[in-house]
Homo-oligomer: A and B are copies of this chain.
Amino acid sequence: MEHIRGYDKYIQEIIRTIPDVIRGIEIVDIEQKSGERDLVTEVDKGVEEFLRKKILDEFPDHEVMGEETYDTSLEYNTKNLWVIDPIDGTANFVKQRNDFCTIVSYFEDGEPMLTYIYEVTKDDLYHGMSGEGVYLNGEKLPKIENKSLFESMIGTDIRRMYLHMSELFKKIVNESFATRSVGTSGLEGSRVVSGRLGGYINYYGGPWDYSPFFLFAKEMGLVFKTLEGKDLEINSGYSNFILCTEKVYEELISN
């Protein structure tokens, strides 16, 4: 495990420089990806390129999966795999210049070893290491209370849940304490792992969106599954998913 501590030190240093990287990129064009609400900017591409280069400079034989260069036809080698979401919450970045984050996760022989969610505007770093727990800015997060659905605020994507999973959406709205929406998997997941939300549901995310949740679930006793109750792997591709307490999972999904 000593090499993992070395990797961790290296990534922690790099990730804190992201605000400077972003400031150095000029936004001249905002592209639409798959749909009119799915945006991508030079910042997404520039931050991915920056992280990819930094990782491959240090670990030339490792593999990198990044949102902006993702190839759905590929089975990524998980022996030494880094997964990057350069800007998670690009719509918030474009519309609000706030509520976005950078996600980096590291897998070894398919197992989650390290994960980072960096909230750029707050300089807040959530960071997890296999067997060591999850930390916010170096401070270990306490055990999460196993809250029921009614005790919990639930984070989710309002439009897609309302339009495509209307029964589940109705149940969340009626039976949870309240529904919240930030609009990024990373930040809503970090609110689950810090006990602020009892669950976060994503209707359709990529591996970079859910890459931290393998480790979060393992280290903090949370449930991380698809909405059909299946397990995910980092090569599972696009999928729906939930990260939540055991009780929320029982009430919302397995019943």
Contacts and interface: CB of A to CB of B under 8 A. Distances in A.
Given A196-B95, A196-B96, A179 B177 contact: no
Nearest to A39: B177
B159 A179 contact: yes
Copies in the complex: 2
Give chain A's interface residue range (CB within 8 Å of chain B).
20 to 34
A138 to B, nearest CB: 18
B173 A159 contact: yes
Contacts of A163: 173-174
Contacts of A174: 159, 163
Nearest to A180: B181
Instruction: Report, nearest first, the 5 A-B pairs whose CB atoms are least far apart.
Output: A96-B196, A158-B179, A181-B181, A162-B173, A159-B173
B191 A178 contact: no
A91 interface: yes
Given A95-B196, A163-B173, A196-B98, A180 B183 contact: yes
Interface in A153-192: 153, 158-159, 162-163, 170, 173-174, 177-183, 191
A37 interface: yes
